[in-house]
Amino acid sequence: MLQEIIAQTGRKAHVLILPPGENSKNWQQLGEILEELLGLNLGRKDPIIAFGGGVVGDITGFAASMLKRGCPFIQIPTSLLAQVDSSVGGKTGVNSSYGKNLIGAFHQPAHVLIDTALLATLPKRELQAGYAEIVKYGLIDDPSFFAWLEQHGTEILHLEPKATAQAIATSCQAKARIVAADETEQDARALLNLGHSFGHALEAVNGYDGTILHGEAVAIGMIAALRFSVGLGLAPQAHLDRVAQHVRAMGMRHLVHDAVPVGIDADQLMNAMMQDKKNIAGQLVLILMRGIGQSFIERQADAGLVRQFWGDCLKHGW
């Protein structure tokens, strides 16, 4: 269908299909994409379309940023997670053996085209992973949106049109607002990484093998960030209980303990966390919470306390 639409504009589409999964977001795959694009003799104004989920959008956008020092690209996200998060904001990149998204560039898409009908093909697990990123916007700075999700989350996971459209629109507006104020993540944009410092570490120790999806890691990571905040006396226990209850009610994974492979210890989780690109000069930077809708950037997190927290998660089954 997409090829037919493109043909109607008088253009010819060349299709490049990437292997599925997070493991496709690597330097070798990026090189292969660039070589193929160069072989097509594209001009600097020829658009490159990222039609797929977050992996496709991230690596396609990065390729577009590099090709002939910058070509336009268009995001047509096909997963819920990509529609509410990764397709908006201009972050592009690939993974490294040292961690996730450590090689990349800021390159804004020329257009983002969202069609909720594409979500009908997704399995429930993928929808739940995308829903985690929707919850994130409520936890960052919009407690009324989180309360709305508590009432309408089931409708979204069942792709009820009105609720789904509202959730996606609210999420995109929230992200666009934050990105517009800090496009290259020098300050407030880092709030969008709520749950990601813990979540990326979980993805890393699982080898990006699909055992844990990105959205699942974010959901677990947000609860971990809130639990850590509660332990520091920054947030009330009741808020942690409320968020955990909602995530459980949506059938989503929420425990660090259940996402860590056998044989992985707190030191390995901590080492993975220290590769996070938000860290500055070896200083751990975390997004913590004072409560639902009250996230903030902690630029001098105590690495010793975080390492102890990882150990407590494994010990107590958190």
Query: Which sequence positions are flagged as catalytic?
Result: 69, 91, 133, 175, 185, 189, 193, 196, 200, 214
Instruction: Determine the residue type at 256.
Output: V
**CA-based diameter of the chain, in Å?**
61
Q: What does the alpha-carbon distance between residue 201 and residue 3 come to, in Å, rounded to a whole number?
A: 38
Instruction: Determine the residue type at 146.
Output: F
- For helices 214-231 and 237-249, the axis angle rounded to 10 degrees is 160
In 141-150, which positions are buried (b, 16+ CB within 10 angstroms) versus exposed (e)? bbeebbebbb
Tokens of 3: 């090829």
Tokens of 54: 């977050």
Q: How many CA atoms lie within 13 A of 79 on its CB side?
A: 28
In 5-32, which positions are buried (b, 16+ CB within 10 angstroms) versus exposed (e)? eeeeeeeeeeeeebeeebebbbeebbee
The strand pairing partners of 93, in sequence order, are: 104
Count Cβ atoms below 10 Å from residue 1 Cβ, excluding itself: 5
